[in-house]
Structure 1
Amino acid sequence: MPRARKAQVALEATPYYHCVSRCVRRAFLCGRDHVTGQDFSHRRAWIENRLLKLATVFALEICAYAVMSNHVHVVLHINQAEAEQWSLRTTVERWHQLFKGTLFSQHYLRGEPLRDIEQRKLEEQAETWRARLQDISWFMRCLNEDIARRANLEDGCTGRFWEGRFKSQALLDEQALAACLAYVDLNPVRAGIAKTPEASGFTSVRARVRQHLREAHSQPFGLFPFAGNPRNGMPAGLPFRLEDYLELVDWTGRQLRDDKRGHITEGLPPILERLAIDPQHWLYMSRSFESRFKGLVGTAFSLKTACQQLGYRRTVGLGSCQVLLG
C-alpha cells in the first residue's frame, strides 16, 4: 500500500523532492499519438508555462523539469524559511492568484475594515494557505488540475487526464540531488527524441544553456539557481557550480548515445570526483533513477537518518542506495 504523502516528506531530512505525473493509460496526451496521428505537443508548452507560473506563487523553487509526451518530471525545493516570512497580506495575495479565497480575504484585499472575529478567522485561514503554499501535493494539484481542465475542454470530454497519484522521491543529499537533476534533464536524450541536452525541448537544462550562452554566468528566471560548491556564507541555490553541472550533463548525454554504450571517456567531470560517485554507477542512475530507487534516495547514512526521522520501522531501499551512492 502506498504511504501517505505526509509520511514521505520530512523537511528535517531534505527540502528537495522529485515528482512525476503520468497521463492516464500512458496515452500520448501531450505529444503525437502514433495511432490516431493527432498532435498534442502544444500542451507541453502549457505545462512548462504553468510550472514557471506556480513557482512565483508557491514557496517552492523549480530545480529541474522535463515535459515529455506522456509524463512530467519536476524537482522541487521547499523554501520554508521564505513562507514563514510572508506577511498576512503577502500570503493572501499569493493565494488569490490561484483561488478566490473567502469573503473575509476579499474584503481585506479591497481595504475594507474587518471586525475582530473576522480578522481572527482570516488570520487562521491564512496560516492554512501558508502551509499549502509550501506543500508539494498542493503544487502538483494546482499544476495537474489546470492542465486537465484545459485539455478536456479542448477535447470536448470529461474524465481523468493524469493518473490519480503523482510519484515522489525525497532527495536526501548532494549525490542523490545531482543524479536526479541529470536524470530529469536527460529524459529526452535517453528517450531518443533529442540528440543533445541543449536540443531537448521543454526542459530546464535547455533553458539554462540558452541563458548561459546569452549571458555568461547568468541563470534563467524562474529556476532555482546554481550557487556553487558548499561553503560558508553560501547564497540560496543548488550546491553545485553551473558550469560543472552543464559539463556533467553534456558528458552523460554523450555516454547515453547508442553508439557510446558502456564507454567512459578519460576526462571525467570534476563534479563526479567531488561527489565520489563511480562513473559506471552514475551512468546506470542516469538511465534508471526513477525505477531503481523508492521514495527516499541518498547515501546509506542519509537514508538511515531519514527513516528514523520519519518513523519507518525498516530502511526502505537501503541495498540500491548502498551500491550506487555509497
Structure 2
Amino acid sequence: MPRPRRTQISVEDTPFYHCCSRVVRRAFLCGDDKFSGRNYDHRRGWVESLLCELIDVFSIDVAAFAVMSNHLHVVLRIDIETANHWTDREVLEQWHKLFKGDELTQKFVKGELVEAHDVLRLKHTIATYRSRLCDISWFMRCLNEPIARQANQEDNCTGRFWEGRFKSQALLDEVAVLACMAYVDLNPIRAKMADNPEQSDHTSIQLRIKAALKGEQPKNLLPFIGNERKNQPKGIAFSLQDYLELVDDTGRIIRDDKRGAINVSSAKLLTRLNIPQDHWLKLTTEFGKLFHGPVGTLQELTSYCEHLEKRRRHFASCCQHLKAG
C-alpha cells in the first residue's frame, strides 16, 4: 500500500529528492510510437518549458532532469529557507502565478483593506500556500497534470496518462546526490537516444554544457558552487568542470559498452568522495535497479527512519552500494 508522501520527506535529513513519473498508456510520452507511427518529440519541449515555469514559482530547485520517451526524471532540492523568508504578499504573488487564489488573496495583493474578521482566514491561507510552494507533491502535481491534460487533448482521449503517483526517493548524502544526478543526466545515452551528453536533448546536462561554453551556468538549474565553504550560496558543493568531465567520461564508457577507465583528470570527484570507479559505473548505470527507496549510508538511513518514526529500516541492504569498497 503506498505511503503518504509526508512519511517519505524529511528535510531535516536532506533537501534532495529524486522523482520519476511514467506514462500508463502504450502511447509514448515523447519520441516515436511504433504502434501508431506518430512522433511525440514535441512533448519533451512541453515538459522542459513547464519545468522552467515552475522553478520561477516554487521554492524548489531543479538539480537535474531528463525527459525520456515514456518517463521523466527530476532531482529536486527543497528550499525551505527561501520560502520562509518570503513576505505574505510575496507568497501570494508566487501562488497567483499558477492559481487565481480567491477574492480575499487578490484583494490583499492589490493593497486593498482586509476586514478584521477576514485576517485570520487570510493568514491561514497564506500559511497553506507557503507550505505548498516548497512541497514536492505540489510541484510534481503542477508538472504532471497540465502535461496529462494537453496530451489527452492531443490524443483525443480521456483517462489516466501517468502511471499513478510519481515515485520519489530521498538522497541522503552528497554521494547519493551526485550519483543520482549523473544517472539522470546519462539516461539518453544508456537508452541510445544520444551519443554524448551535449546531444542529449531536453536534459539538464545539455543545458549545463551549453551554458559552460559561454562561461556561465543555467539560470533555471541549481548551480555548482565549488568546494563547500562557510557562508556559501545555495548550490551543489562540487566543481562544475569536474562534474561535466566525469559525466562525459562515464558516458563514453556506457556508449561504447566497455568497462573502460575514467581519466585521472576527470576522477577528482570520485577521489574526494572515495568511490572506486567500478562502484561509480554501477551506480550511474543501475541506480534505478539498485535503489527503490532512500539512498545513503546505513547511518544516514537509520537517522532518516528515526526522524520519520519508521520502525524498520527498509532498503538497508542497498547501502552496501555506496561503500568505498
Query: What is the TM-score of this pair, normalised by structure 2?
Result: 0.96
Unaligned runs of 5+ in 2: none
Deviation digits for residues 70-118 of structure 1 (CA, Å, limit 9, x no counterpart) = 1110000000000001111100111111111111012222332210121
For 1:248, the equivalent position in structure 2 comes to 246
For 1:277, the equivalent position in structure 2 comes to 275
Letter of the 1:227 partner, please give it.
Answer: I
Q: Say whether residues 1:293 and 2:291 are aligned partners.
A: yes
Candidates 236, 258, 276, aligned match of 1:261? 258
Query: What is the TM-score of this pair, normalised by structure 1?
Result: 0.96
Using the alignment, how far apart are the partners of 2:213 and 2:242 within structure 1?
15
For 2:319, the equivalent position in structure 1 comes to 321
In structure 2, the CA distance between the partners of 1:149 and 1:22, relative to structure 1 (3 Å rule), is same
Letter of the 1:168 partner, please give it.
Answer: S
SS of 2:213 mapped into structure 1: helix
For 2:180, the equivalent position in structure 1 comes to 180
In structure 2, the CA distance between the partners of 1:30 and 1:265, relative to structure 1 (3 Å rule), is closer
Compute the displacement of 1:27 (Å).
3.4
Letter of the 2:145 partner, please give it.
Answer: E
SS of 1:19 mapped into structure 2: strand
Using the alignment, how far apart are the partners of 1:236 and 1:266 within structure 2?
29
Of 134-143 and 225-234, the range deviating more from structure 2:
225-234
What does 1:27-106 correspond to in 2, within 5 Å? 27-106=27-106
For 2:212, the equivalent position in structure 1 comes to 212
Letter of the 1:3 partner, please give it.
Answer: R
Unaligned runs of 5+ in 1: none
Of 75-84 and 101-110, the range deviating more from structure 2:
101-110
SS of 1:233 mapped into structure 2: coil
Of 315-324 and 143-152, the range deviating more from structure 2:
315-324
Of 125-134 and 108-117, the range deviating more from structure 2:
108-117
Using the alignment, how far apart are the partners of 1:264 and 1:304 within structure 2?
34
Using the alignment, how far apart are the partners of 1:293 and 1:260 within structure 2?
22
For 1:21, the equivalent position in structure 2 comes to 21
Contact 1:65–1:185 (CA under 8 A) maintained in structure 2: yes
Using the alignment, how far apart are the partners of 2:224 and 2:140 within structure 1?
23
Contact 1:277–1:325 (CA under 8 A) maintained in structure 2: yes
For 1:234, the equivalent position in structure 2 comes to 232
Compute the displacement of 1:260 (Å).
4.0
Of 291-300 and 135-144, the range deviating more from structure 2:
291-300
For 2:302, the equivalent position in structure 1 comes to 304
Contact 2:18–2:76 (CA under 8 A) maintained in structure 1: yes
SS of 2:53 mapped into structure 1: helix
Contact 2:55–2:62 (CA under 8 A) maintained in structure 1: yes
For 2:8, the equivalent position in structure 1 comes to 8
